[in-house]
Amino acid sequence: MLIDFNNLEINNLHPETDFEKKVIFFLKEWFSDSKFVKVQTSGSTGVPKIIEIDKEKMVNSANMTCNFLDLKKGNTALVCLPVEYISGKMMVVRAITKKLKLMIEDPSVKPLENLNANIDFCAMTPLQVENSLDKIHFIKNMIIGGAAVSESLKNKISQTLKRSNAQTTIFETYGMSETLSHIALKKTYPIQEEYFNVFDGIEISTDERNCLKIYAPQLNSEILQTNDLVEIKNENQFKFLGRIDNVINSGGAKIFPEQLEALVKKEIPNEVVFLGVKDESLGQKLILIVEGIKSELINQKLSTINYQQKFHKPKEIIFVEKIPRTPNGKVNRLELKSIFEN
């Protein structure tokens, strides 16, 4: 289904799939008299909940992204993320705000399977991109969110797009439900940036733990305190180091699992998670969970990884068929940890 927001007649839309029906339902909610819409949080760092968000603030967020990417009236966008969550809702709101033409594709792992035309803008998860590499050259601006973009995926993206000579720009996002999707973007192609660039009108700082604080009055009236450890370069740029909730204390050494996962993913394509599980002598024992079938090749690659510190090397490597994820595709560390601590 294609919706032209420059010439919208909701009653003339005839949804055929369940996802198209959900998009139309959200449109009716958006154009209702209510000043708020309900959004479900992902539950990746706690219990999922329903929050109410001011429509005006969602428009502000939409303008920030569209202005950053220079999207204009009549440009084409594609939504392939669930509209229960802020990521999918904001794709629709951006199309409404800038009067874009919006293609609707089911939020599957291969959302670009039927795409054969150029698109100006799309948002996807890393898993969706991984399964759509043969079609990403059709997209001019792509943002990837919901989980970190692995080094392995970055390399695949680069190799694919260089072969096709595509004029594609790809960004990794930083944000959360409370910031109405992202507040900062980091380019991963055609160049790889180290720091996230925050949008205009957003102030960043850190608390005594070096966790990010966000003041974005156009998006949220409160100063948002995160549990994300960061390194701030200047008032407009920061580097994400990892979540303080995930920090592993093993024998008195603090270990940031996200950094180790990025290192391992340079060597193997599998999803990996570093966990700290209870240990009598160390407090927490560092283990590595690898999704997929154990093989000599993968074991060999894992054995040659050059860890910066001796205590970064996992005490145990465990292969699992499937790593648990939240409904919108993020790794569920809490559930995974509970499996190995019970």
Q: Which amino acid type is present at position 8? A: L
Query: Residue 125 contacts by C-beta under 8 Å, 6 or more apart in sequence?
Result: 81, 144, 145, 146, 147, 328, 329
User: Are 125 and 97 contacting, i.e. CB atoms less than 8 angstroms apart?
Assistant: no
User: Domain residues for 262?
Assistant: 247-341
- At which of 200, 235, 256 does a domain end? 200
Is the domain of 29 the same as that of 144? yes
d(CA 61, CA 43): 22
Q: What is the pLDDT of residue 22?
A: 95
pLDDT tens across 168-224, in order? 999 999 998 788 889 999 999 999 999 999 999 999 999 999 999 999 999 988 899
Is the domain of 195 the same as that of 53? yes
Residue 90 sits in a domain whose CATH number is: 3.40.50.12780
Is the domain of 195 the same as that of 257? no
Q: What is the pLDDT of residue 186?
A: 96
Residue 37 lies in a domain: yes
d(CA 10, CA 307): 56
Is the domain of 251 the same as that of 191? no
Bridge-based pairing of strands 211-215 and 223-234 is antiparallel
- At which of 200, 228, 260 does a domain end? 200
Bridge-based pairing of strands 272-279 and 316-320 is unpaired
Residue 239 lies in a domain: no
Is the domain of 46 the same as that of 190? yes
d(CA 293, CA 191): 33
DSSP summary character for residue 331: B
User: Are 126 and 146 contacting, i.e. CB atoms less than 8 angstroms apart?
Assistant: yes
d(CA 57, CA 276): 39
Centre a 10 Å sphere on the Cβ of residue 338 and count the other Cβ atoms it contains. 11
Is the domain of 156 the same as that of 289? no
If one counts the domains in the chain, the total is: 2
User: Are 96 and 30 contacting, i.e. CB atoms less than 8 angstroms apart?
Assistant: yes
Q: Which residues of the chain have pLDDT under 70?
A: 42-48, 327-329, 342
Residue 34 lies in a domain: yes
Residue 269 sits in a domain whose CATH number is: 3.30.300.30
Q: What is the pLDDT of residue 66?
A: 95
Is the domain of 125 the same as that of 11? yes
Residue 217 lies in a domain: no
User: Are 238 and 252 contacting, i.e. CB atoms less than 8 angstroms apart?
Assistant: no
d(CA 4, CA 99): 7
Q: Is the dihedral of CA 225, 214, 58, 328 positive or negative?
A: negative
d(CA 112, CA 309): 41
Residue 145 lies in a domain: yes
| 201 three-class SS | coil
User: Are 39 and 90 contacting, i.e. CB atoms less than 8 angstroms apart?
Assistant: no
Q: What is the pLDDT of residue 140?
A: 96
d(CA 274, CA 109): 24
Is the domain of 44 the same as that of 158? yes
Q: What is the pLDDT of residue 69?
A: 94
Residue 207 lies in a domain: no
Is the domain of 35 the same as that of 132? yes
pTM (two decimals): 0.80
